Structure formats: structure tokens, C-alpha cells
């Protein structure tokens, strides 16, 4: 174990949530660079004991005093809680790594993916580093590796998003609906699934069992969803391409955990599949799994619980030699949230020395 007298102190805010739970697993699995790890949560969780690094640690309440002596604070709480408390933690001297949407597009807050733009984490005027949205993170490591070689000009993306992206309520809704439709002949006539599910749609506007729902997020201008705009705006910021053409359609699918995306990426120069394979197979944080003849391509059922971005179905566009098509999968609770947050925190810790 690290010498606790000299190693940085870490706070995990929102330690009892779905992502917070994964954060604690990752902290127990990664090289132990931290001194004290302080677990912070809402009042209803105070006093609970959670395992981290093989030890039981008691959860304390979210207060100003909770950040005394903290060097790095990882936040996984709702946007409004982050908006209120991240600046307080920063004012107490902690570098905040925030997993909410509260600061992602703030020009004074870097939006960081360590495999793509680690340098950005060093410039943080507000003492805050933002973690991208889980959908963006499920594809951006692979896209960033190709961009570094070919120069990205345009992205057209469709997502197939797991219900855990909507939190525990999303997972509960899917499991409850599956019980209602299991062993039936439902899904053969209009509205039969809807009638079986009734009002039990959970956080989704339509039934999710035996269905796909072409909507995630909240309604924005001109019919776009907030989730679609996040992918667009965050990709531009991470890659340093403010004028990048991006078009996104986000779809919810009956998968518990792991987001998938189809990606049409258009570049400045001609692309070959062989060169794309070479880049992706050596890119940090990427696993190339691409042999359709053998039935080998990523699926959420195989990728869930793993850290990398998995890439398959790599094809050059039939009508454009500068474009490629990809299918990518990434665990939205690990790389899509907890893992990337932990990686940023580790970058900051290395910088603090």
C-alpha cells in the first residue's frame, strides 16, 4: 500500500451511487497511488461502510469540512449538486474531477479523455476538470486515434444506449418489463407490448422491453435531444475541432449496461481498412475485434464489465475513400463514467507529485 503520509488524499463524492460503486471497484483494482480515500454522500447514506482497497470505510456527509485536506475530489452526483459543491471543493484546495454535465462546456473547464487529450487536464482555471458524457466516451477513444492519423472532418453517429445510462430506475424498469413479457407471444401485434407494460415505463417515454426507443435526454431546439447535442459539442471540444460537422441520433435499447454506436467518420485524407486496423489495434484503451467471417465483432453482452473501447465492422465507405464505418461498444459505467474519472484523477495526482 502507498505511504499514506505523502500520497494525495482523494474524496469520492457520490460514493454510494451506481457509478460511485464502480469507482470504488476501480480504486481497488488500479495501482494504489492514494493516501486517505474519503467517501462522501448524501445524508441518508452517512454511516454506511463501503469496501475500498480491501478496507471498510465509513461514508461521511457532504459538507464544506468534508473537503479539508483533500487533494483530488471525484464527483458523481446530479448536475445541480455538482454545480453547487464542486466550486466549494475547489475553493478548499481540491482539484475536482466532475462526472456531471454541469461544467462540460464551460470554457474554463477542460473536458478530458486521457488517451486523447491528457494535456488539457493541466489547464484548469476553476480547479475543475470535466468528464465527458458516457455516450461520447464510448466512441471517442477510437475516433480520436483515427483523427490523429487522418484528420477528422465529419461524424455521423447513431447510438444504441443501455438502460443503466438512465440510472437504477432504468435498469429496474427494463427488468420489470422483461418479467411482464417473458414467455408470452407479445411483440406480434400493434400495441400489445405497451398494453402489457401499462404505465410501467420507468424513466423512458415508451416500453423498452422487446423495443427500441429513438430518444434519450430532454427536448432541445428543432427536435434534437440533449443527449445528441452532448455528443456533438463534447466531441468538438475534446478533439479541439470547434467547427466539426457532427450529426447524432440517440436510441435506447433493451441492454442493461454497455453503449454501442455506429460511426461514419470522414477524414481529410484517404483511409484504408488495413491502416485503420493498424491504428486501432495499437491505440491505448482500444480493442480491435473485427472478423465478421468468424462472427467476431463487439456486442454489449461480451463487452460489459471491461474497460476498453471495442471496435469492429471496420469498412471503408463505398462512396467515399476518405470515410470509414465502425461499430463500437463501451461499458457506460466503466470507461463511460467511473474509469475515465479515475484516470483523470490519476493524471492530476501524478502532476501534484
Distance CA(25)–CA(51), nearest Å, equals: 8
Give yes or no: 259 in active site.
Answer: yes
Q: Is the Cβ–Cβ distance between 7 and 35 less than 8 Å?
A: yes
Which of the following is catalytic: 134, 147, 250, 329? 134
Q: Which of 198, 203, 237, 233 is nearest to 218 (CA)?
A: 203
Class of residue 20 by CB neighbours under 10 A (exposed 0-12, middle 13-18, buried 19+): buried
Distance CA(277)–CA(310), nearest Å, equals: 12
Distance CA(257)–CA(218), nearest Å, equals: 21
Q: What are phi and psi of 329, to 5 degrees?
A: -135, 140
How far apart, in Å, do the first and last CA atoms of the chain sit?
17
List, in sequence order, the alpha helices (H) in the chain: 18-29, 79-91, 134-150, 168-181, 192-197, 226-239, 273-282, 300-303, 339-352
Q: Is the Cβ–Cβ distance between 66 and 12 less than 8 Å?
A: no
Q: Is the Cβ–Cβ distance between 40 and 11 less than 8 Å?
A: yes
Per-residue cell: 115: 488517451
Give 140-167 as a 3 state SS string: HHHHHHHHHHHCEEEEEEEEEECHHHHC
Read off the DSSP letter of residue 204: S
Which of the following is catalytic: 147, 250, 259, 329? 259
Give CA separation, 82 vs 34, 47, 48, 98, 245, in Å: 23, 22, 22, 7, 30
Pairing state of beta strands 49-52 and 10-13? unpaired
Inter-helix orientation angle 226-239/134-150, to 10°: 40
Give yes or no: 134 in active site.
Answer: yes
Catalytic annotation, residues: 134, 259
Amino acid at each position: 500500500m502507498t505511504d499514506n503520509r505523502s500520497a494525495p488524499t482523494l474524496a469520492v463524492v457520490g460514493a454510494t451511487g451506481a457509478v460511485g460503486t464502480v469507482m470504488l471497484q476501480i480504486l481497488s483494482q488500479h495501482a494504489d497511488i492514494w493516501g486517505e480515500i474519503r467517501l462522501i454522500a448524501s445524508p441518508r447514506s452517512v454511516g454506511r461502510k463501503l469496501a475500498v482497497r480491501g478496507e471498510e470505510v465509513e461514508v461521511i456527509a457532504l459538507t464544506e469540512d468534508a473537503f479539508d485536506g483533500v487533494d483530488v475530489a471525484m464527483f458523481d452526483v446530479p448536475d445541480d449538486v455538482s454545480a453547487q459543491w464542486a466550486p466549494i471543493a475547489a475553493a478548499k484546495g481540491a482539484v475536482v474531477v466532475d462526472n456531471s454535465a454541469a461544467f462540460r462546456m464551460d470554457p474554463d473547464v477542460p473536458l478530458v479523455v486521457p488517451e486523447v487529450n491528457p494535456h488539457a487536464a493541466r489547464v484548469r482555471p476553476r480547479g475543475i476538470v470535466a468528464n465527458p458524457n458516457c455516450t461520447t466516451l464510448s466512441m471517442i477513444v477510437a475516433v480520436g486515434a483515427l483523427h490523429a492519423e487522418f484528420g477528422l472532418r465529419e461524424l455521423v453517429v447513431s447510438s444504441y444506449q443501455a438502460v443503466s445510462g438512465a440510472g437504477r430506475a432504468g435498469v429496474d424498469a427494463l427488468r420489470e418489463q422483461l418479467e411482464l413479457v417473458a414467455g408470452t407471444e407479445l411483440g406480434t401485434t400493434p400495441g400489445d407490448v405497451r398494453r402489457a407494460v401499462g404505465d410501467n415505463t420507468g424513466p423512458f417515454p415508451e416500453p423498452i422491453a422487446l423495443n427500441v426507443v429513438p430518444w434519450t435526454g430532454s427536448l432541445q431546439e428543432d427536435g434534437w435531444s440533449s443527449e445528441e447535442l452532448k455528443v456533438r459539442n463534447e466531441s468538438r471540444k475534446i478533439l479541439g475541432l470547434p467547427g466539426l460537422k457532427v450529426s447524432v441520433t440517440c436510441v435506447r435499447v433493451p441492454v442493461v449496461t454497455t453503449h454501442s454506436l455506429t460511426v461514419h467518420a470522414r477524414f481529410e485524407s484517404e483511409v484504408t481498412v488495413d491502416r485503420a486496423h493498424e491504428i486501432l489495434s495499437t491505440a491505448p484503451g482500444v480493442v480491435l475485434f473485427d472478423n465478421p467471417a468468424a462472427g467476431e465483432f463487439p456486442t454489449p453482452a461480451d463487452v460489459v464489465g471491461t474497460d476498453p473501447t471495442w471496435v469492429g465492422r471496420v469498412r471503408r465507405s463505398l462512396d467515399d475513400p476518405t470515410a470509414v464505418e465502425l461499430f463500437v461498444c463501451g461499458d457506460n459505467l466503466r470507461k463511460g463514467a467511473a474509469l475515465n474519472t479515475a484516470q483523470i484523477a490519476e493524471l492530476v495526482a501524478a502532476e501534484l507529485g
